[in-house]
Amino acid sequence: MLFFASPLFADSTLPPSRWANQQLPDPRQEAAATALMQEIRCLVCQGQSIADSDAELAGDMRALVRERIAAGERPEAVRQWLVERYGAWVSYRPPVEPLSWPLYAAPIALLLAGAWLLRGRFRRKA
Amino acid sequence: MSRARFLPLIIFGLLVAAGVWRLATPKDDRVASQLEGQKLPVFALPPALPGKPGLTSADLATGTPRLVNIFASWCVPCAAEAPVLMQLKRQGVPIDAIAIRDKPEDVAAFLAQYGDPFTRIGGDQRSQVQIALGSSGVPESFVVDGKGVIRAQHIGPIMEQDVPGILQAMEEAR
C-alpha cells in the first residue's frame, strides 16, 4: 500500500473555532485583524492567505489573530510571533534580507532592461 | 551587430533550463518549525480522552528525551504510522502525543484500532499548541531532550526507513 510521505490534509469532525469566521465586535480591531490575515500565508494551501483559505488550520490561525488583536497585541507583534515559528515564508511581506532582495529588485531591473532593449524605438526616424 | 541577435535565444534557453530543472527537482512544500534548538513554549493541554493524562511542557523536561507525536484520529497517514510508533515504544522510546481537533471518543476508537504507544495525550482542539510549536500538519513528531529543548522535527508519518534516524536523534538528545 502506498501512503503519502507528506501530511494528508483530511478534515476533523469538530466545528471551526469561534473566532475563525466571526468578526470582532470592535470594527477597528477587526480591520487590523483582517489586514493582517490577508498577509499571512495558509500553510496548507500555500497559494492563499489565511483570510481566503478554507483549511481548518487557516481557521484556527484566523482565530489566533483575532483573539490576540482583541487582547490588545499589535498586528506586527502577531506577525512576528508567527514568523518566529514558521519562518519568513508565512508572511506575504517578507523582510528584505540578503536572500530576498532580488524579489524587490527584479521588477525594477526587468523594467530597466526592457527600456534598454527598446531604446532604439524611441528615437526619431532618421 | 552580429552576436547580439542570439541574446533572445539565450534568454529563452535559460528559461527552458530553469523550467526543466524545477520539473526535475520539485519544490519541497513542507514548512518546518523554526523552533528547532529552542525550548518548548510553555503549554498545558487537558487529556484528549478520559483515562490518560494530559500533556504539559513541564512533562517534557523531566531529564530524559521524549518523542512528541502530533496526530489526529481523522488523519490517514497517522494510521500508517501507528505500527512504527508501537515498534519505537517497544524499543524503549518514551512517546507522548498531542491530538489535534479530536473528540475523545474518536481518539479512543483510533487507539483501540491501531494501538496505544502514548504515555500522555494532550487534546489540542483548536490547534493553538500546534501553531505555537510551528507545526503545520499531521502527522509530525518532535524529539525533545531532557531540558525541554526541541532537538529535531520529523514532518509526515514515521515510516520504517525513518526509524534509524529517529533513534539517532533520540540518542543525540541525551
Domain containing residue B93: CATH number? 3.40.30.10
Nearest to B26 by CA among A44, A6, A41: A6
Domain total in chain A: 1
In a domain, A59, yes or no: yes
Taking only the tens of pLDDT, chain B with its 174 residues reads 567 888 889 999 999 999 999 999 998 888 999 999 999 999 999 999 999 999 999 999 999 999 999 999 999 999 999 999 999 999 999 999 999 999 999 999 999 999 999 999 999 999 999 999 999 999 999 999 999 999 999 999 999 999 999 999 999 999
Domain limits for position B133? 30-172
Amino acid occupying residue B159? M
Asked whether the beta carbons of residue B32 and residue A44 sit closer than 8 angstroms, the reply is no
Asked whether the beta carbons of residue A56 and residue B157 sit closer than 8 angstroms, the reply is no
In a domain, A86, yes or no: yes
Asked whether the beta carbons of residue A86 and residue B34 sit closer than 8 angstroms, the reply is yes
pLDDT tens, position by position, B130-172: 999 999 999 999 999 999 999 999 999 999 999 999 999 999 9
In a domain, A90, yes or no: yes
- Could you say which of B33, B77, B140 has the minimum Cβ distance to residue A4? B77
In a domain, A34, yes or no: yes
pLDDT tens, position by position, A36-74: 999 999 998 888 999 999 999 999 999 999 999 999 999
Give me B145's grid cell.
531532550
- Could you say which of A5, A56, A89 has the minimum Cβ distance to residue B101? A56
According to DSSP, the residues that pair with B141 across neighbouring strands are B69, B154
Domain limits for position A77? 18-95
Give B52's DSSP letter: S
In a domain, B17, yes or no: no
Statement: residue A1 has pLDDT above 50? no
Whole-model pTM: value is 0.85
Asked whether the beta carbons of residue B103 and residue A57 sit closer than 8 angstroms, the reply is no
In a domain, A3, yes or no: no
In a domain, B130, yes or no: yes
What is the Cα–Cα distance from A104 to A72, expressed in whole angstroms? 32
Give B3's DSSP letter: G
How many cross-chain Cβ pairs, A to B, lie less than 8 Å apart? Answer: 92
Question: What pLDDT, on a 0 to 100 scale, did the predictor assign at position B3?
Answer: 75
Q: Nearest-CA distance from A90 to chain B in Å?
A: 9
Q: Nearest-CA distance from A49 to chain B in Å?
A: 14
Asked whether the beta carbons of residue A57 and residue B137 sit closer than 8 angstroms, the reply is yes
In a domain, A111, yes or no: no
Give me B11's grid cell.
534568454
Query: What residues of chain A have any CB closer than 8 angstroms to a CB in chain B?
Result: 1, 3-14, 17, 43-44, 46, 56-57, 60-61, 63-64, 82-87, 89-90
Contacts A60 to B, Cβ<8 Å: 126-128, 130-131
Q: Nearest-CA distance from A124 to chain B in Å?
A: 20
In a domain, A6, yes or no: no
Question: What pLDDT, on a 0 to 100 scale, did the predictor assign at position A9?
Answer: 52
Asked whether the beta carbons of residue B156 and residue A5 sit closer than 8 angstroms, the reply is yes
What is the Cα–Cα distance from B33 to B30, expressed in whole angstroms? 10
